[in-house]
Amino acid sequence: MTLDTTATTARDKAQILAQALPYIRQFHGKTMVIKYGGNAMTEPALQQAFAEDVVLLKLVGINPVVVHGGGPQIETALKRLGKQGHFIQGMRVTDDETMEVVEWVLAGEVQQDIVGLINQAGGKAVGLTGRDGGLIRARKLRMLDQKDPSVEHDVGQVGDIEAIDPAVVKALQDDQFIPVVSPIGFGARNESYNINADVVAARLAMVLQAEKLLMLTNIPGVLDKAGQLLPELTPAGIDALVQDGTISGGMIPKISGALDASRSGVNAVHIIDGRVPHSMLLEVLTDQAFGTMIKKS
């Protein structure tokens, strides 16, 4: 019985490797931007699986760039200080004190944890913020009300990306490093801005002309009104879902970034269930699907 089980496992592994080969050929030398968030960032087993996936992608010749969130960690830090997080249309309102917390949580605690996990898994990760190499230049976000565009919400030091200079990311990739980017930008007066990580990942994918944008979430993917997974969507289909209210709240910035990326040359955007171990690797290198793919057309 043991021999049969071992043989079956070996055959399964061989089939998976054989299935991965054409995808490795197809994506060799290509860039993939990964938005890392949700349960995959907080559960130890999923953290390890994510780090292993990133390292394996690099080893087979794909260039991963990680952009991370950190909402739960920021919320925990704010509660320690007696502050309550406040959101408008999915964006965190960021006053001066909150911005200080955002910077030390994202660029300190969270980023260094991710860098350490990837390095422990055998990779060579380097942490960046928008200040490093002038990576992300930003200005204050003007947030108009979705229902009444004549109303503007003040969300504090939340940034809108003016420009991305990818030179430092490309230099790291050329030296076989894996960039890990915190979504913090800088303004004309050297002020810091908190930027939605989904937006940063999407813009970076566009600027780097990435083959794919992979967005790890806490849900199976984009769901219809009945709660059923939509495995594939086009930009036109997403517009309809936003209009009828199927897509709302915190999903809006994620979907908006995905749409911008798919309309600007990124071949495919994958919204993936990060609660499934190795879902990212299975999505990229096998025929299995673990979320919603948004195609250019």
71 is in an annotated binding site: yes
Q: How far is 121 from 149, CA to CA, in rounded Å?
A: 48
Cβ neighbours for 174, distance < 8 A, ≥ 6 positions apart: none
Residue/partner pairs of 1-10 with CB below 8 Å, 24 or more apart: none
DSSP conformation class of 221? S
Closest CA to 294 of 274, 266, 270, 273: 270
On the CB side of 46, how many CA atoms lie within 13 Å of its CA? 18
**Contact partners, residue 120, CB within 8 Å, separation at least 6:** 51
Strand 178-181 versus strand 63-68 pairing type = parallel
Closest CA to 202 of 242, 174, 161: 161
Report CA-CA distances (Å) from 44 to 39, 149, 278.
Answer: 9, 43, 13
Contact status, residue 167 vs residue 133, Cβ threshold 8 Å: yes
In terms of Cα–Cα distance, which of 232, 257, 233 is closest to 35?
257
196 known member of a binding site: no
H or E segment to which residue 152 belongs: strand 152-153
**Known binding residues:** 70-71, 92, 194
**Known binding residues for substrate:** 70-71, 92, 194
